[in-house]
Amino acid sequence: MSASADLLKELRIDRNRPPAPSGPGRGVLIGVAVLLVAAAAGGWFVFGRSAGAQVRTASVTAIGGGSGGAGASVLDATGYIVARRIATVSAKITGKVREVMIEEGQRVEEGQIMATLDPIDANAQRELSAAQLAAAQSDVARVQAQLKEAEANAARLSSLTQQQLVSRSQYDQAIAQRDSLRAQLVTAQRNVKVSGDSLRISDLGVDNTIVRAPFAGVVTAKAAQPGEIVSPLSAGGGFTRTGIGTIVDMDSLEIEVDVGEAFIGRVKPKMPVEATLNAYPDWKIPAEVIAIIPTADRGKATVKVRIAIKSRDARIVPDMGVRVSFLEQAAAKPAGAAPAKPSAMLPNAALAQRGGKDVAFVVEDGKARQAELTLGRKLGDDREVTAGLSGGETVVLDPPDSLENGAKVRVENDGADSSDTH
């Protein structure tokens, strides 16, 4: 009961406690709080707003600036670097790998040994063929000795028969034995030839355990390791390798692009081309059309075009992505005429409309400068610009409708904001 009484006492209101502040003092506290909130909002409006809108950017690429007698680009396309001479090298026989002598990136010469297989079976077969050849040669020597004796015996009996000292039947028997030995000699000599051919085939079997490079090139893949079974034919189960390695002749590299069949009429053999690797966008590679493959891809509505690379370089490797510009021959210009200004290419996402005109916003000193554009052809996800940009500028991607000329912007940088306070 005492515990319940104590709880009831705690619930009673203490009427002697002094009242909470009220009146003018409480109003002052509320006013201070309102001023603090207003100051914070004003600070965000002034300082946060002055940092500018956060935007993503991309670079503008200059195109169509041909050289060497070539003019402006008449068509742009994308493709890949391909090798016309590439081989996955395998052994001619099935066997166990004993040693692999190549590594990725290694250059090999024609005939250089790439790998060896276990030669136990091939060596045994060669030894057997060599023994058979030796036996056949010994048989020839035996028959030759017997034939020499038979010929001498036949000659002696011939003289005795003429003198009627021996019977005619003995002479005929000697002649028959001589002719039989002559036939045996021919057979033995043929056996020697067959055994020799068998030995040469066995030598090829031993040589087939050595895998050599079919041509000079660079190893791009190493497919086998010592102890694995390799075979020129694929086997079930996935435990048999079908190749030792892959070699690419770097001198056979060229470009293959797919051109829309609606534009293939602009492309001609021997036409000058300017190629740009995706990995090196500032490197312009001179090239030339080799051939237009006379067939179309029904599914993609494109025609394949082969392009020769005139500048050989170690940076050019197979399967690299490349963008090419087919250049028209430059027309003769009057003396003193200014060279044509190359066009530029920017992503479609950078285009915007302001006042019914095509514009892009160029980022300069932390501000967005509105540039009025004259547009050209559509190039996939990009658009050609014939006036307004020259290449090298940084433009805003997906500019918001609220973005205006001269507005401050913050450029995204690896997931973080890099504010410019110019």
The whole-angstrom separation of Cα 61 and Cα 76 is 13
What was the pLDDT predicted at 420? Answer: 40
Main-chain phi, psi angles of 16, to 5 degrees: -90, -5
What was the pLDDT predicted at 201? Answer: 92
Chain centre to alpha carbon of residue 11: 83
Cα–Cα distances (Å) from 181 to 142, 148, 184, 187, 270, in that order, read 10, 9, 5, 10, 75
Q: Which two tokens stand for residue 95?
A: 């066997």
Q: Which among 284, 257, 289 has a CA at the least distance from the CA of 272?
A: 289
Buried b (16+ CB within 10 A) or exposed e, 273-302: bbbbbeeeeeebbbbebbebeeebeeeeeb
pLDDT tens digits for range 14-64: 555 555 554 455 555 555 555 665 555 555 444 444 556 777 888 887 665
* Cβ(326)–Cβ(374) below 8 Å: no
What was the pLDDT predicted at 71? Answer: 58
What residue type is 162 in one-letter code?
Answer: Q
pLDDT tens digits for range 112-135: 999 999 999 889 999 999 999 999
| Stretches in the chain below the pLDDT threshold 50 | 1, 4, 7-8, 22-23, 44-49, 65-69, 414-422
Cα–Cα distances (Å) from 226 to 55, 117, 144, 382, in that order, read 55, 9, 51, 50
What was the pLDDT predicted at 334? Answer: 52
User: What's the whole-number average pLDDT of the chain?
Assistant: 80
The whole-angstrom separation of Cα 166 and Cα 169 is 8
What was the pLDDT predicted at 286? Answer: 92
Chain centre to alpha carbon of residue 382: 24
What was the pLDDT predicted at 416? Answer: 38
What was the pLDDT predicted at 218? Answer: 93
How many helices and strands in the chain, by DSSP H and E? 5, 26
What residue type is 139 in one-letter code?
Answer: D
The whole-angstrom separation of Cα 158 and Cα 379 is 104
Rounded (5°) CA angle 353-355-401: 50
